[in-house]
Amino acid sequence: MSKIHATAQVDPGAKLGSNVEIGAFCVVGPHAELGDNVVLRSHVVIEGRTTIGAGCKIFPFASVGLEPQDVKYKDDPSTVTIGENTLIREHVTVHRGTPTGHLATHVGSNCFLMIGAHVAHDCQIGDNVTLVNGVTLGGHVSVGDGAIVGGLSAVHQFVRIGAYSFVGGMSGVAADLIPFGMALGNRANLNGLNIVGLKRKGFSREQIHELRKAYRMLFSSEGTLKERLEDVEAMFSANELARQIIDFIKSDSDRSFCVPNNVATPSR
């Protein structure tokens, strides 16, 4: 049985799972769907065609599913989906998608969106992602599984943040970050691999050692990126981690890549 505070405004059209808790002064719109055991603390707003997965907890003054900050948006039937057991802290904003994207914004399961993080329209966020306090994701950003974006960092629209990568605090990311990479700085550069994150995720010592060798070859100063990528693919394609980086670089994107300071920004 759900527990709804007397001051909350829950539209009759909203769909609520079992054991949902909705605190004081929350607003839940007519197209919202809340899974089992969802908890909304006070002053939470859930609007639009928004689905909140089971076990999510959303803290005061967060808003999920409101209109995007896009002047071309005309009340299109777009959506927001939040996966199971995701934690959304105070003042987080997650906006619905637009027709220029896929009409959908998605946040995966077991994510942690800390105070004041912003997920713009059409973002696609994987599972187990952490956005630290004040992170801003522009429209159409994708973030791979297990990535961590440090506090007060901003990610340019359409940028891809690879799986298990790490963005240092107060960084401005205007280029794609490879899986397992680590980026730091205002207009962030690639600063090696996220070795600590790889160890925490349980990747083997041998996998990490091979990945290091592939990384050094890929971002050496010799030859073109295309030539180095071909060499890495020939030598390390059997390595699961290196394969993810190879596929990431070969896939379509409108952005350049984050590279080390001693390597020229590669063209595609």
Point out the residues that are catalytic. 121-122, 139
Residues 263, 181 contacting (CB under 8 angstroms): no
User: Alpha-carbon distance 148 to 95, whole Å?
Assistant: 20
User: Alpha-carbon distance 51 to 261, whole Å?
Assistant: 42
- The three-class DSSP label of residue 235 is helix
Please report which residue ranges of 89-201 form alpha helices under DSSP H.
195-200
Tokens of 98: 């637009």
At a CB cut-off of 8 Å and minimum separation 6, what does 246 contact? 229, 232, 233, 236, 237
Residues 63, 15 contacting (CB under 8 angstroms): no
Instruction: Mark residue 25 as left, alpha or beta (left: phi above 0; alpha: psi -120 to 50; beta: remaining).
Output: left
At a CB cut-off of 8 Å and minimum separation 6, what does 225 contact? 218, 249, 257, 266, 267
At a CB cut-off of 8 Å and minimum separation 6, what does 42 contact? 5, 23, 24, 25, 26, 60
Could you give the maximum distance between any two Cα atoms of the chain, in Å?
Answer: 67
